[in-house]
Chains A and B, each alone.
Chain A
Amino acid sequence: MTITSPAQTAATGEALVQIKRVRKSFGAHQVLRDVSLDVPSGTVTVLLGPSGSGKSTLLRCINHLETIDGGRVIVDGELIGYRQAGHKIHEMTPKQIAQQRRSIGMVFQRFNLFPHLTALENITEAPIGISGKPKAASKARGLELLDRVGLADFSSHYPAQLSGGQQQRVAISRALAMDPKLMLFDEPTSALDPELVGDVLDVMRELANSGMTMIVVTHEIGFARGVADQVVFMDGGVVVEAGRPGDVFDNPQRQRTKNFLESVR
């Protein structure tokens, strides 16, 4: 499912993220059944669906936090998690996978900040320790990112001293510090108190406007309607319906989509 966008990868004309017939099972339970999806560069895709529909699993397959049983995940022309040699597919080493993940940022439902590090240290740990960037420059960049999410005064706070909304904004900064090509959001506002959701969505909106390619699993219909270029409705491990937010929300073609949207509203 592709939408035409002027921001497609110029060199190849291919979408930044290509998911091709991906299959995934946990034991006997098949979570993803031949899911295919294209996400052009610079666009925002929102994944919707009831819990257990496979949307979070699909997201986690994109940075190989979950292995896949079949199909291909390609980000920026690179096969994720596997190496193709002729007709054979080889598993990558953990080091090679780590290398690929550096350009894919991820934000989690439960924030997952490192509790033993301050907000700034959370952000600079990977750039300094993994990418080997100079300390001073990484700190300056970290402070700039914190300022951008409105937390300039909280750089030396530990996660336990921050509210959920503040923690999630630090988590977004942490992912951005690696200069990713793609950002994955796994229900970023689901664990937040209602009055804190707005701040996090504002940061995400600003990020989308800056041209970041984003794939977002969320139940925030308002956000999806305002920001998404593409809305994908999943159920039972398949893509039921996908399209522009206006089409999917106002004129859903499938009964399952209609039922879900009514239950969320």
Chain B
Amino acid sequence: MTIANHAAPTQSGGTPVADPNDHDVVAIPLRRPWRIISAIAVLFILAAFISSVATNPNIDFGTVGTFIFDKRIVEGAWLTIVITGISMVISTVLAVIVAAMRLSSNPVLSSVSWFYVWAFRGTPLLVQIVLWGYLGLLYEKLTLGVPFTGIVFWQIGTNQLVTAFVAGLLALTLNQAAYSSEIVRAGMVSVDEGQREASYSLGMSPLYTFRRILLPQAMRVIIPPMGNELISMLKNTSLLSVIAVLELYTQASMISAQNLKQVELLIVVSAWYLFMTSVLSIPQYYLERRFGRGTSRSLPPTPFQRVKQAFVSRRIPGPEPTPETTPIGVQR
């Protein structure tokens, strides 16, 4: 292998004779045979797997096609979205409160917050869901009144108020709030102490400082893990099948209990979950961009802007490429 470190020095046209060391080093690219071998091996295994699935006589792809837009499946998917949406919004509000309590200088508030996170993060979500489902066994009636006095304003049977749907919402929301509060807390801690001082020195109240200065900066740190949590939450709704909430997975297992096409319906369900999680990553991109303002010197273009750019630049021809003045080739 040779390294061509210079072209022939130009003598004419008044160009000064170049020092050979001034020129770029042009090297013969290193051969990487294992790249090709490993790629071929992986592609081969992948092809074998796909063919084994596609030609498997035990998978009836017709059934997958029939049920993918079945009314019950679509309703289940919609309920999954509704539960995810409500739980995520309420749990995020709760998380900000729990995080603020944890960061508070009041020892009672911060201990209670710590205990909450400890309890809800330390027990399995499945167990929590079942517990909420059995709330009616613990408390026959739910009462609104003054504790320890016997004064009652309003009373209702537990199972009337806390239906399977409500129990599922409660379980997912309270569990998620524990996780999210730690994310919010990490975001708050990441903001420089000087920001608070600068805000106070301008006469901002603690609440205003939190809302307008600290929280927007914390959002930059909070949003990426929260996107993760949102996707987790969407998938965790399938656990609600244990208390018979009619979400996507429950609907699918009810259908497969009748027609015994378990695998086909699992494929249907997986396709729906994949679709929904893919759609959810779009708003995350824009949120990250929104709250990333000021952190990098220039914002990356949105995918839409990128497409537009490519389109425009194709239509307007650029200037002629300047011919290379000193072509340097690889010597052989």
Which A residues form the contact surface with B (CB < 8 A)?
63, 65, 94-95, 98-102, 104-106, 108, 110, 112-118, 125-126, 129-131, 158-161, 171, 174-175, 178, 184
The stretch from B56-64, B106-114, B140-148, B208-216 touching chain A is: B208-216
Give the residues in chain B near A112, CB-CB below 8 Å: 192, 194-195, 197-198
**Given B194, B201, B216, which contacts A63 in the complex, CB threshold below 8 Å?**
B201
A160 to chain B, nearest CB (A): 6
The stretch from B37-45, B159-167, B291-299 touching chain A is: B291-299
Say yes or no: A160 contacts B294, CB within 8 Å: yes
- Return the chain A residue nearest B220 by Cβ: A116
Say yes or no: B217 contacts A116, CB within 8 Å: yes
**Given B203, B216, B291, B294, which contacts A101 in the complex, CB threshold below 8 Å?**
B203
Additional A-B contact list (13), CB under 8 Å, known A94-B206, A116-B220, A129-B208: A65-B200, A94-B205, A101-B201, A112-B192, A115-B294, A116-B217, A116-B294, A117-B294, A126-B203, A126-B204, A160-B294, A178-B202, A178-B203
**A-B complex: 8 closest residue pairs judged by Cβ atoms:** A102-B203, A112-B198, A158-B294, A106-B201, A112-B194, A126-B202, A101-B203, A115-B294
Say yes or no: B296 contacts A114, CB within 8 Å: no
Say yes or no: A175 contacts B213, CB within 8 Å: no
Q: In whole angstroms, how far apart are the Cα atoms of A113 and B206 in the complex?
A: 17
- Return the chain A residue nearest B297 by Cβ: A161
Give the residues in chain A near B201, CB-CB below 8 Å: 63, 65, 101, 104-106, 108, 175, 184
Give the residues in chain B near A101, CB-CB below 8 Å: 200-203
Say yes or no: A95 contacts B205, CB within 8 Å: yes
- A114-B213, A117-B294, A158-B294 known; A108 and B198 CB under 8 Å? yes
Main secondary structure of the interface of A (DSSP, over half): mixed
- Return the chain B residue nearest A122 by Cβ: B198
Give the residues in chain B near A131, CB-CB below 8 Å: 203
B212 to chain A, nearest CB (A): 6
Give the residues in chain B near A175, CB-CB below 8 Å: 201-202
A-B pairs with beta carbons under 8 Å apart, 19 shown = A63-B200, A65-B200, A98-B200, A101-B202, A101-B203, A105-B201, A106-B201, A108-B198, A108-B201, A110-B194, A114-B199, A114-B217, A115-B217, A116-B217, A125-B213, A130-B203, A158-B293, A159-B294, A160-B294
B312 to chain A, nearest CB (A): 24
Q: In whole angstroms, how far apart are the Cα atoms of A129 and B204 in the complex?
A: 9
- Return the chain A residue nearest B202 by Cβ: A126
Give the residues in chain B near A106, CB-CB below 8 Å: 198, 201
Say yes or no: B293 contacts A116, CB within 8 Å: yes
- Return the chain B residue nearest A171 by Cβ: B198
A141 to chain B, nearest CB (A): 15
Say yes or no: B205 contacts A102, CB within 8 Å: no
Give the residues in chain B near A125, CB-CB below 8 Å: 202, 212-213
